[in-house]
Chains A and B, each alone.
Chain A
């Protein structure tokens, strides 16, 4: 499967625990994005990363959330000390480019990681 791979697909955490979500971009894509989908709301941009660099984290909550995309391995979205309000679907997307007329055709989403905080 050459698509965007996310795991785990479903994750249950108790309040106060840590959640780690992983994303492997589509083969050949070097741009990774994380989005969050809250119930009854659209997807909201969180962060844009390239290998070893955070390019734009304007959508990340200021506390408890962090993201990385190391030189080797998948991108990771980490949520520390989870609270009930963190329950949501977290989607990773990747793209081949970030500008240009064909940009919209190159952004692909993974199947998502559903986090439930109990």
Chain B
């Protein structure tokens, strides 16, 4: 069993739709939870960061962490074609990040 599980998709949605992404994990010691966006042949770019549990909102993005279920989510509201990318969840106990495989999202104009 992988330490972090993420549905690879691909996910295709019309412009303006809500994109829902999630990851599950097995290590209950994880305390840092991140979502990265990665465009093709580019490096991961930090989108959202949550320490420990709870929700966090930043513009069109909402990140949720449910430590009791070992489940994290990212929601993108009013999705735009420019949101088309691969989204990676990452989490860690300290400096060593464990990544999901990434979900490829396409937002259709």
For residue A31, which residues in chain B have a CB less than 8 angstroms away from its CB?
A: 95
Q: Which of B8, B44, B94 contacts A103 (CB 8 A)?
A: B94
The verdict on A56 contacting chain B, using a C-beta distance below 8 Å, is yes
In the complex, the answer to whether A108 meets B102 with C-beta atoms within 8 Å is no
In the complex, the answer to whether A91 meets B44 with C-beta atoms within 8 Å is yes
The verdict on A44 contacting chain B, using a C-beta distance below 8 Å, is yes
How many angstroms between the C-alpha atoms of A103 and B96 in the bound complex?
11
Which residues 36-52 of B sit at the A interface, judged by CB distance below 8 A?
A: 36, 41-46, 49-51
In the complex, the answer to whether A42 meets B101 with C-beta atoms within 8 Å is yes
For residue A45, which residues in chain B have a CB less than 8 angstroms away from its CB?
A: 96-98
In the complex, the answer to whether A105 meets B49 with C-beta atoms within 8 Å is yes
Q: How far, in Å, is A31 (CB) from chain B's closest CB?
A: 7
In the complex, the answer to whether B94 meets A104 with C-beta atoms within 8 Å is no
A95 nearest CB neighbor, chain B only:
B95
Interface of B is mostly: strand
Which residues 37-88 of A sit at the B interface, judged by CB distance below 8 A?
A: 40-45, 48, 56, 58-59
Q: How far, in Å, is A42 (CB) from chain B's closest CB?
A: 4
B36 nearest CB neighbor, chain A only:
A109
- Among B4, B43, B88, B100, residue most surrounded by chain A Cβ atoms (within 10 Å): B43
In the complex, the answer to whether B88 meets A99 with C-beta atoms within 8 Å is no
For residue B90, which residues in chain A have a CB less than 8 angstroms away from its CB?
A: 43
In the complex, the answer to whether A42 meets B44 with C-beta atoms within 8 Å is no
In the complex, the answer to whether B95 meets A103 with C-beta atoms within 8 Å is yes
Which residues 14-67 of B sit at the A interface, judged by CB distance below 8 A?
A: 32-34, 36, 41-46, 49-51
A-B contact pairs, 13 of them (CB 8 A): A42-B99, A42-B101, A45-B98, A58-B96, A99-B94, A103-B94, A104-B34, A104-B92, A107-B34, A107-B97, A108-B46, A109-B45, A112-B41
